[in-house]
């Protein structure tokens, strides 16, 4: 098989933690929420779609992102919560497009459903952004075959970093497999169909692990 890149590429596996950073911006009702969506830092939008996957939560939330959860629990607007939960951030080219979609959905609710209820003081939506802290794991990968045995034992922070936070970079596992060589094209395609937005991290890890196992078992059969 012909390699896509003659340079030997390696993937250094990192674990990570998310450090929350309060912005001081809070919304008491949906109109304030819509107005703040227009000005918040792009990292806030990323945080509220993805960071909950790494947060320790006693109960699994019904909705996929913080915006939808707030609409349901604090505004009691389940129709809006469902609309917000259906927004898949991976379907947008950049954060500005995602921001525009959020504003569109919220504006629709303001116009059609007349959502105007104020929340209590402790129930305001608090916009948060984050920094990510990386840790060494000691794993340096030079070919996708090594990942078959490593992925099942990764800490969830590493799953988050290498499948979500590193999207479209050389640290992303799917990107690494895509660049490894033509013999791994089918593996890359299978992994790219695994959308992390719809899975909790343990399930994402399990599904990715199974894809590697099936691919390399078939290769050696």
Higher pLDDT, 105 or 3: 105
Task: Provide the H-helix boundaries in 88-184.
Answer: 95-112, 147-150, 156-160, 173-180
Q: What dihedral angle (degrees, nearest 10) is formed by the CA atoms of 78, 83, 84, 89?
A: 160
Strand partners, 27: 125
- pTM for this one? 0.87
pLDDT at residue 121 greater than cutoff 80: no
Q: How far apart are CA 56 and CA 74, in angstroms?
A: 20
Q: What is the pLDDT of residues 80-98, one digit of tens each?
A: 999 999 999 999 999 999 9
Residues contacting 37, CB < 8 A, separation 6+: 45, 99, 102, 103, 106
DSSP class of 28: S
CA 40, 46, 50: angle at the middle one, nearest 5?
140
Strand partners, 135: 15
pLDDT at residue 54 greater than cutoff 50: yes
Q: Give me the mean pLDDT over the 30-57 stretch.
A: 91
């Amino acid at each position: 098989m012909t390699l896509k890149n003659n340079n030997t590429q390696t993937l250094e596996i990192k674990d990570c933690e998310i450090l929350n950073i309060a912005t001081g911006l809070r919304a008491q009702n949906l109109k304030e929420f819509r107005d703040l969506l227009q000005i918040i830092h792009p990292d806030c939008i990323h945080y509220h779609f993805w960071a909950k996957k790494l947060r320790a939560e006693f109960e699994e939330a019904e909705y996929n992102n913080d915006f939808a959860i707030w609409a349901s629990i604090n505004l009691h607007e389940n129709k809006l919560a469902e609309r917000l939960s259906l927004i898949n951030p991976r379907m947008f080219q950049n954060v500005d497009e995602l921001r525009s979609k959020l504003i569109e959905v919220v504006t629709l609710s303001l116009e059609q459903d007349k959502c105007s209820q104020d929340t209590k003081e402790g129930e305001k939506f608090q916009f948060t952004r984050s920094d990510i802290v990386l840790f060494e794991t000691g794993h340096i990968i030079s070919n996708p075959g090594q990942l078959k045995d490593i992925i099942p034992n990764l800490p969830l922070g590493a799953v988050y970093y290498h499948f979500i936070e590193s999207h479209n970079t050389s640290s992303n596992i799917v990107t690494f497999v895509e660049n490894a060589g033509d013999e791994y094209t089918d593996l890359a395609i299978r992994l790219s169909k695994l959308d992390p937005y719809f899975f909790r991290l343990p399930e994402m890890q399990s599904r990715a692990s199974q894809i590697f196992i099936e691919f390399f078992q078939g290769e050696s059969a």
